[in-house]
Amino acid sequence: MTPTSPPLSRLVPEYVRRFSAYIPSKPDDELKKLYGCSRLFRLNNNENALGPPPAAQEVIRSFPAPHAAIYPSGDAYHLRVKLGERLAVHPDQILVGNGANEVITFVIKAFCQEGDNIVTADQTFAVYEWVAEFSGFEARLVPLNDFRFDDDALRRRIDERSKVLFICNPNNPTGSYWSEARLRRFLEAVNGRQIVVVDEAYAEFVEDPLFPNSIPLLHEFPNLVVFRTFSKMYGLAGLRIGYLIGDHEVVDIIRRTCV
């Protein structure tokens, strides 16, 4: 760059300039040396300390190394077929991404345009807020009520430019959750005016019979999108497998944002 060149900052949108780059934690080998320990449990990442199930480990060990040179199926066809069988939905109702972070990005890119906003809680999985804000959209953050998502307060923050509502159920990090009756009431109140994302990354840990079985609700509420992951209960965070389930039309729209 010559002394007379304009600063690069002029090329950067204001909503990006407001952010500092995310700094991940150091790799395990560096942290072990730093703290003089032989094993780490990174609780900040909510990793499964038990590791993957033995059967999954066997499959991973059997992967032919030369296949690493081959691009995988771009739409995770075989995984979607298996998930469809397990969840009783059509494979085309499933979209697989590089962890939950990518499917969050898919949804926001698909439904938000300049001037739009998303609505979620102020103490929840921060990536909803981050992706919206560094994409140029407002993230409206609603305080929790008794460590839970406050459905009434969420509805009060919705306006005509609200496009996506993110509900983390059970919530990360507080562990609270909505019952099926409460989720249904919220969906009925929204009445299809916004996309409602229910992030169920930790659903497999809930034993309460009142916890919602959200996927059958897709038949009644086509604006509902459900997130799931292999990172938590299944101990496969390193493989980065997140996915969403939704109505055929909604998933087709979201798929248009995927490369």
Domains of the chain plus CATH, in order, are: 71-255 (3.40.640.10)
Which segments within 131-182 are labelled E, that is strand? 138-142, 162-168
Angle at 14 between CA 8 and CA 18, to 5 degrees: 100
Q: How much is the pLDDT for 80?
A: 98
* Distant-in-sequence, close-in-space partners of 96: CB < 8 Å, separation ≥ 6: 75, 76, 79, 80, 241, 242, 243
Instruction: Give the pLDDT of residue 240.
Output: 95
Burial 82-118 (b: 16+ CB within 10 A, else e): ebbeebebebebbbbbebbebbbbbbbbbbbeeebbb
Quick one: CA torsion of 71, 75, 78, 80, rounded to 10 degrees? Answer: 150
Q: In sequence order, which residues have a C-beta less than 8 Å from that of residue 71 and are 6 or more positions away?
A: none
pTM: 0.93
Which among 120, 88, 72, 128 has a CA at the least distance from the CA of 104? Answer: 128
What confidence score (pLDDT) does residue 84 get?
98
How far is residue 80's CA from residue 84's CA, in Å, rounded to a whole number?
A: 6
What integer pLDDT is reported at residue 64 of this predicted model?
A: 94
Q: Quote helix, strand, coil % in the chain, to nearest 5.
A: 40, 15, 45
Cα-based angle 244, 92, 66 (whole degrees, multiple of 5): 80
State the chain's maximal CA–CA distance in angstroms: 67
- pLDDT (tens digit, 0 to 9) for every residue of the chain, 259 residues total? 566 677 888 899 988 988 888 888 889 999 999 999 998 888 888 999 899 999 999 999 999 999 999 998 889 999 999 999 999 999 999 999 999 999 999 999 999 999 999 999 999 999 999 999 999 999 999 999 999 999 999 999 999 999 999 999 999 999 999 999 999 999 999 999 999 999 999 999 999 999 999 999 999 999 999 999 999 999 999 999 999 999 999 999 999 998 8
The whole-number pLDDT of residue 1 equals 56
State residue 143's pLDDT score: 98
Question: Which of 143, 145, 186 lies closest to 165 in space, CA to CA?
Answer: 186
The pLDDT, as a whole number, for residue 21 is 87
Question: CA angle at residue 259 from 232 to 98, to 5 degrees?
Answer: 10
